[in-house]
Amino acid sequence: MAGKRSRCSFSRLELILIVCLVLMISLTVALLVLHFLTRNTNGKCSYPSPVPQGCPGQDFSDRGTGGGLQVTAELSPPPSSVPVTHRNDQRAPLLQMGYANPEQVGGGLLSRLYSRAFIVAEPQGSQRVVFVSADIGMVSQRVRLEVLKQLRSKYGELYRQDNVILSGTHTHSGPGGYFQYTLFWITSRGLVQPTLKSIVNGIVKSIDIAHENMKKGRLFINRGTVENSQINRSPFSYLANPQSERKRYSSNTDKEMVLLKMVDVEGHELGLISWFAVHPVSMNNSNHLVNSDNVGYASYLFEQEKNKGMLPGEGPFVAAFASSNLGDVSPNTRGPFCANTGESCDNPQSTCPVGGASMCMAKGPGKDMFESTRIIGQNIYLKAKELYEKASQEVTGPLSSAHQWVNMTNVSVELNATHTVRTCKPALGHSFAAGTIDGVGALNFTQGSVEGDPFWDQIRDQLLGEPSNETKACHQPKPILFNTGEMTWPHPWHPDIVDVQIVAIGSLAILAVPGEFTTMSGRRLREAVQREFDSHGSPGMNVVIAGLCNVYTHYIATYEEYQLQRYEAASTIYGPHTLSAYIQLYRGLAKAIALNGTQELSPGPEPPFFNVTSLTLLPSLSVESAPAGKTFGDVLEEVRQEYREVRGEVAEVTFVGANPRNSAENATEHNFLTVERYSNISSSWRVVLNDASWDTRFYWSKGTSGRSNVTIEWHIPAGTEPGVYRLRYFGHYKKRVNFLRVISVPFEGLSSAFQITAP
């Protein structure tokens, strides 16, 4: 009867779901058609030509530091920000990367996104290593390949795939559109070249700054516990791990922060890198403002503290708060609650009695996502500040690096002397579509699904093809929703070739992992690598995991967690033995480093570079207009005449605006806004804040007939110096000169002066 009903009639819910799926497939087809209409017909791979920095499509600025061992590096002089924020035309806006929520489109700016680069070099040798922490969701294979190509053209073989680590902080509030694999085109509405180029150019520029400012220095390491900043969002999966293993740990998350402090030989402060496991999802999937989330706020606080008197984003001190094994770690410390009833939904399926899984959402410690971001970010910053001030264990020793490309679809793993298993072609399970308590899915999927749904399986088979029996068997008990490893049109939907990499800086070993390891997965990997170093003459290594590096492969759950098939397990794309494969591979890299045998490592099969040069549904910028009797930059809603210096006061002004993508294209202004204070001494206005400040917000709203508004908010913090202030807006609008030519015209907007008084 069920089979007959599915052919002849559908419930209302099923009809809604079918419509949603058809719309999604239509979007995919449109992208693919666009791709084939614009692709190069010769079929050869080609790297796009570099373009000037400040392309539209990405807010991406750069910071850099360089150095040597014994030795550390100099941070850059005040870096020039790539002008740029990413703003989107709301007729076809660019999605933010992370939640895969079609409603989460960019509509403003809360904070800038930065690339922070660190170089460590041996003073008397050619060995050097680069670590980059970038404020993006994750590093894509396309980004890494293009960065390495630019570095090779500038520096020859000095910076290579083995000694350059690119790590994403995993903010979910940055733009998408910088991937070459088909699955990510759907959630990002294509490959957006301006976004890709801005990210690549920003990363390369930060490395350039570090390279140009090398100086002798010293490195110190410290570690400590961060409290009240994380929970395990899949505690039932964690409990599936052996009790004997769990008993060795006091928590179901890794609370330890590892911090690397950098000073010059005279003791002058230069910078730091911190590794701590927490998802930057304090800003939830209702957010539309580009920002770097909780770890970005921690960087902001530390850099403002050390670069006193400088505007945000300026100054020599660079503080990177990098990702680690954050796969099942949430900053939403109050846990999951049903949005419609308020009751807890901390159950194995994360579902609510009314509304199901889509109602089960985690809450942060604050009253809203902005406050939660600040609370978690400040917690992280305060612990890092403590560890930085007390760091006394010096890092010394040689530099080395080991890297291989590996075909992760068919790795043979020796579990023991008698049992060998293999990894699988990539596939995503049904629970992938359920999302997590940090960002729930749509439709009717739930976490913990170990059986398929006949309704969705039938649609999958008809539209995408049924998974092969081999793939089904390999991924058991995962019910496959998308058999991406067998979907290759127009390009593969997921990567086969993956980077594995370890960089050793004296006694510090950085494991650059290509995805999101869960808490226990990260612990097993670190311990296995630690034992490998110990057994080959390199005892006492400090092993840290750097997450979201070099290529994105979703999640890595333990074998036991995989059996429960919550979101993280359903997103472990290479099957139940993925972690075992990575442990085997990273042990091999550690052994090569310990025995000084990295030159004997096989480089492995190089990853492909697909000839995708233009693939997006984002429309070109069009001519814009101002309302009758108005011009661009005119004030529509004015500030008040007076505000008090108390928390909660917000100075707000609305201007006749234009699409911010115009300004990003022109790259003539480094800011979209400034807060200025009048000086009675000099009888002039002085900039006290810019658009990199976490106290300012920039909102753009698209109207009709080429019109749009920009609203600037300044959330006046306690302690603001009383005085006379004003808000300034910088923009560009498109103007048609003749039938064939459209130009961008710069303009400014200025609020009235207003007074801030003491409370």
Mean pLDDT of 222-249: 98
27: pLDDT strictly greater than 70: no
- pLDDT attached to residue 60: 54
* DSSP, residue by residue, 265-326: TT--EEEEEEE----S-SS-TT--EE--HHHHHHHHHHHHHHSTTSPTT-SS-EEEEE--S-
Our CA dihedral for 439, 445, 448, 450, rounded to 10 degrees, sits at -150
Using one digit for the tens of pLDDT, what is the confidence trace for 162-187? 999 999 999 999 888 899 998 888 77
Using one digit for the tens of pLDDT, what is the confidence trace for 696-708? 999 999 888 889 9
Tell me how far apart the alpha carbons of residues 203 and 561 are, in angstroms, rounded to a whole number: 35
Q: Can you tell me whether residue 733 is helix, strand or coil?
A: strand
101: pLDDT strictly greater than 80: no
Peptide bond into 607 cis (omega under 30): no
pTM (predicted TM-score): 0.89
Q: Would you please indicate which residues are annotated as catalytic (active-site) residues?
A: 330
Least confident of 99-113, 471-485, 499-513: 99-113
What confidence category does residue 739 fall into, taking pLDDT thresholds of 50, 70 and 90?
Answer: confident
17: pLDDT strictly greater than 60: no
Using one digit for the tens of pLDDT, what is the confidence trace for 130-169? 999 999 999 999 999 999 999 999 999 999 999 999 999 9
Using one digit for the tens of pLDDT, what is the confidence trace for 442-482? 788 999 999 999 999 999 999 899 999 999 999 999 999 99
Mean pLDDT of 475-500: 95
Mean pLDDT of 34-56: 30
Tell me how far apart the alpha carbons of residues 9 and 311 are, in angstroms, rounded to a whole number: 63
Residue 678: how many other CB atoms lie within 10 Å: 14
State the residue for tokens 């060795």.
248
Average pLDDT of the chain is: 87
Mean pLDDT of 25-42: 41
What confidence category does residue 614 fall into, taking pLDDT thresholds of 50, 70 and 90?
Answer: low
What confidence category does residue 99 fall into, taking pLDDT thresholds of 50, 70 and 90?
Answer: low
Please, which contacts does 241-245 make with residues 24 or more away whose CB atoms are closer than 8 Å?
Answer: 241/520, 241/558, 241/560, 241/561, 242/560, 245/520
Q: How many residues does the chain have?
A: 759
Q: Exposed, middle or buried by CB within 10 Å (0-12, 13-18, 19+), for 259?
A: buried
- pLDDT attached to residue 646: 85
What confidence category does residue 188 fall into, taking pLDDT thresholds of 50, 70 and 90?
Answer: confident
- pLDDT attached to residue 18: 52
Q: What distance separates the 2 farthest-apart alpha carbons in the chain? A: 86
What confidence category does residue 404 fall into, taking pLDDT thresholds of 50, 70 and 90?
Answer: very high
Pinpoint the residues of the chain covered by CATH 2.60.40.2300.
635-757
Please measure the distance between the N-terminal and C-terminal CA atoms of the chain and give it in whole angstroms: 72
Using one digit for the tens of pLDDT, what is the confidence trace for 311-351? 998 999 999 999 999 999 999 999 999 999 999 999 999 99
2: pLDDT strictly greater than 60: no
Tell me how far apart the alpha carbons of residues 117 and 270 are, in angstroms, rounded to a whole number: 12
For residue 499, the surrounding DSSP H or E stretch is: strand 497-505
What confidence category does residue 72 fall into, taking pLDDT thresholds of 50, 70 and 90?
Answer: very low
Mean pLDDT of 430-440: 93
356: pLDDT strictly greater than 80: yes
The CATH code that applies to domain 635-757 is: 2.60.40.2300
Which residue ranges make up the annotated binding site for Zn(2+)? 170, 279, 516, 555
Mean pLDDT of 249-256: 98
| Cβ atoms 207, 159 nearer than 8 A | yes
- pLDDT attached to residue 512: 98
**Share above pLDDT 70 across residues of the chain, in percent, rounded to a whole number:** 85
190: pLDDT strictly greater than 70: yes
Using one digit for the tens of pLDDT, what is the confidence trace for 293-304? 999 999 999 999
| Cβ atoms 546, 512 nearer than 8 A | yes
Which residue ranges make up the annotated binding site? 170, 279, 516, 555
- pLDDT attached to residue 49: 25
436: pLDDT strictly greater than 90: yes
